[in-house]
Chains A and B, each alone.
Chain A
Amino acid sequence: MRDETDTALMLRVKAGEPACLGELFERHSGRLYRYFYRLCGRRQWSEDMVQECFARMLRYASAYREDGHFLSWAFHIARNVAADFLRREDRGAGAEGEDPDALAGGEPGPADRRLLEAEQGRLQRALLRLAPEQRELILLGRLRELPGTELARLFGCSTGAVKVRQHRALKELREHFESETESESTSKR
């Protein structure tokens, strides 16, 4: 099973061997979790969305195409899961990222670790200020989860259009990040 491709495993799931999804979970649950976490900034929500993602893979296994690209299909499901999950009870807009101090357990650490955690906190808050599609474009592009052609297919546009949208999203992210940095410096004075 470990030597089989993702597509071969998913086709076996489709043919009635659900146990093969276990190997796909081992390979890809981490990247899906990272994607969800960057989208929402919350560990528990991210875990819930990973669970829902794999549950949908089982439910819709019959729709998997033999010539399909597994990760494209998985991230297509992941985008829908995130949209449904975050829309429920208005979890998406304005959701606060986890406080980096809380993540560190409030314990004093080395100065550079605290700086890194503070930067991660600002980055997460800046990401959350983007529109959901912009966040997805940046994350899927940066994390190199999908090649450009698959990204274009996922977003229903040309490869060139994906690049333009990514550029705009990145520019907005930088602006939000600067704004977060300034407001943090102001609050510390």
Chain B
Amino acid sequence: MRCQDLDAKLADYLRDELAPAERQAVAAHLRDCERCRGEVEQAARLWQALDKPPPAPSPAMGGRFYAMLSGEVARGELRTLERGGAPAGRPPGLFGRLWPTRPAWALSYSLALLLSGVVLGEGLRPAGSLMNNEQFPALSQERLVQLCSVQGQGQG
């Protein structure tokens, strides 16, 4: 192998991508040629130096990307709604547009409100309410007697 033959194979040699026979030929040449040996050593140092990690990116790089992506996801949902469709994960059509984004949350919240209303209502109902079933029949009978007396006088 001549020195100029090595030039063409140097990158592959550094990447360890030479065929075994070629690699042996390069190794044999390097044993005998001090100039090429020096060049290969320097090239290998550069090759390894390229592998060293550069300064790490700032945490803001990820933040900026996800801010952009969130905006794009929101724009995508808006475009879907404008076309009359339903956002991802919802039924199609008008029903889909009315369907809450978080149905479990909405249902739990509604049930909690309903329960609170019932409990509050029970607590606020006074003891002498007209709706008291025990009193209502008695009041009705008294009222009926009065009504009957009035009617009797009218017919007589």
Contact = CB atoms under 8 A, between A and B. Distances in A.
A157 interface: no
Given A98-B55, A103-B55, A177-B46, 15 more contacts: A18-B73, A18-B76, A25-B65, A33-B54, A33-B57, A33-B61, A50-B57, A120-B49, A120-B52, A142-B15, A142-B51, A144-B15, A167-B7, A171-B7, A174-B42
A167 B8 contact: yes
B74 to A, nearest CB: 10
A16 B54 contact: no
Nearest to A141: B11
A1 interface: no
Contacts, number: 95
A54 B49 CA distance: 28
Nearest to B53: A34
Give the interface centre of A29, A34, A119, A138 by most chain B CB atoms within 10 Å. Answer: A34
Interface of A: 16-19, 21-22, 25, 29-30, 33-34, 37-38, 43, 46-47, 50-51, 54-55, 58, 98, 103, 116, 119-120, 123, 138-139, 141-144, 163-164, 166-167, 170-171, 173-174, 177-178
17 contacts: A18-B69, A18-B76, A19-B73, A25-B62, A25-B69, A29-B61, A29-B65, A34-B54, A47-B60, A58-B69, A58-B72, A103-B55, A120-B49, A141-B15, A170-B11, A174-B43, A174-B46
B50 A123 contact: yes
Contact of A143 (B8, B50, B65): B50
A186 B60 CA distance: 40
B55 A43 contact: yes
A54 B65 contact: yes
A115 B51 CA distance: 16
A37 B72 contact: no
B10 A123 contact: no
A37 B64 contact: no
A170 B66 contact: no
